[in-house]
Structures are given as structure tokens and as C-alpha cells.
Amino acid sequence: MNYIVLEENLFTIAFVLYIVASLSFFIFLASSKEKLGYMAVSVSLLGFFVHTMAMGARIIESGRLPFSNQYEFANSFTWGIVLCYLIIHFYYRFTAVGAFVMPLAFLMMGYASLLPRHVRPLMPALQSNWLAIHVGTAVVSYGAFAVAAGLSFIYLISFNKKSDKRSLLPDPDACDFLSYRIIAFGYLMLTLVIITGAIWARSAWSRYWGWDPKETWSLITWIIYSVYLHLRYNRGWKGKPAAWFAVIGFVAVIFTFIGVNNLLPGIHSYR
């Protein structure tokens, strides 16, 4: 079986399903029909299942986890976003959050679709057991920050706009608190990303830190979320300023991945 062809077909199906899910969430918010919300979640779940199968096909073809280049990480990043959203939805039943998170997923998957998909042998620097830990924690961390940004968008909309549709959105205070908890989890994962990256760099390049653009922007992102958590925990900082800070943090996440790879290439810019 040609697993690369299978992966490409499953990838395309998942991409279409994520687009359909995003549109369904928007229609759900506009129409107030709960059935559309259930449909949007179901399509998201189906897309995630197909997406997982696509990633599985690539793993079988390559014999490794799909973490070695921009396409594979963008694909895994998308998977992490949807996974985090589905966990939050089924635990808290915040259906409307999908309208703010699933578009991020299909946009990231759209970016992945523009990148080369060739399966290549791992370069020497990537032939390490640290690859799975370092990049795996990054996928989970970035996915968590994406969901936190979606919850913060909901808070800002609820705070700034009174609407008949507001009842479809989760309680603003609940979004604010849940965003904080998810950021705390994502921050822990990001800390592990930086620590494991430093240990891996020591064995690969004989130094823990080299101020490579990716390293620098990962540290900047970590500092942004450190300030957020410090102000939240020690100063009781919440509400609108905290929501904007969560959004800014996710912008830094996106720049760390896409912006740095394309504008500030370095030793981490694997294509």
C-alpha cells in the first residue's frame, strides 16, 4: 500500500471537514439552533479521526513521528489544536468555542498544505530520542494556547458587545478562568519544550543555548506567558487586560513557528 497517497487523501478529507465544521459553528452562532452545534462538533470529531488516520499513515511510511519539518509540525500543530478543543468541549460543553478555535485549525492546516510533503530521512541533528519529547510537548503547548486564545476572544466579545446571541456563548467569567487554567498547562508544556530543547542542543551542537531565532522567540513567548501568570496569580489580574494578553501570547506563538521559519531562518528552520 502506498501510505503517502493514503495520507494525502485523508489529509484532504480532514481539511475539508475542518472547513465544514468551522462554517457550521458560525451558522450555529447566527441561527441559535442547537442541532447545528451538535453537527459542528460531530464534524470536528470526524475530521479529527480522519486527521489522526492521515498522521498514522505518514508514521507508517516514514517509520518515525511526524515532527521533522515545517509541514509535519504544522500538521501536528493542527492536530493538537483540535485535540485540545475537543477535550475542553466534552469536559465543559462549551460548544461555541469551536467557532473561535476550529478556524485556527483549518488555517494552520491550510498553511501545512502549501508546504513540501516529501518524506525524507532525518538529518543527523534530528536523530535523537529527544525529538518526540521536545516537539510533542510543543504540539500540546501550542494547541493549549490556541484554545486559550479562543476563550479569550469569547470573553472580549461578551465584554464589548451585548447581543441576542450572547446566550449561546459560555459565561464570560468561566471563559476567563478556564483560559487561565489552560494557559497554565500550556506554560508548563512550553517550559518542558525549552528545557528539553536545551538538553538536546547540548548533545547535538555542544551548547545548551545559542540564541538561534527560534530559541529567542520561544523564550520571548515564555516570558509573555510568565508575565501573564505572574500578574494573574500575584496581582489578581483578570478580565479584559488578561484576555488581550492571552491573545498577544498566541500571536507570539504563531510568529515563533511561522514568522521565524520564513523571516528569520536558523538552525531550527527545517523544511
**pLDDT band of 165, cuts 50, 70, 90:** very low
* Residue 167 pLDDT: 58
- For residue 163, pLDDT beyond 80: no
Cβ atoms of residues 211 and 235 within 8 Å: no
**pLDDT band of 228, cuts 50, 70, 90:** very high
- For residue 271, pLDDT beyond 70: no
Higher pLDDT, 155 or 158: 155
- For residue 107, pLDDT beyond 60: yes
d(CA 41, CA 36): 9
DSSP string, 39-69: HHHHHHHHHHHHHHHHHHHHHHHHTS-S-SS
CA proximity to 41, closest of 109, 108, 97:
97
Per this entry, what is the length of the chain?
271
- For residue 171, pLDDT beyond 80: yes
Higher pLDDT, 178 or 263: 178
pTM of the model as a whole: 0.89
* Residue 236 pLDDT: 81
Q: Which long-range contacts (CB under 8 A, 24 or more apart) does 33-41 make?
A: 37/95, 37/96, 38/95, 40/95, 40/98, 40/99, 40/102, 41/89, 41/95, 41/98
* Residue 269 pLDDT: 56
Cβ atoms of residues 149 and 246 within 8 Å: yes
Q: What is the pLDDT of residues 183-227, one digit of tens each?
A: 999 999 999 999 998 898 888 777 888 788 888 999 999 999 999
Q: What is the pLDDT of residues 40-54, one digit of tens each?
A: 999 999 999 999 999
Mark out the alpha helices in the chain (DSSP H runs): 3-31, 34-62, 70-92, 98-113, 130-160, 172-205, 213-235, 240-254, 260-263
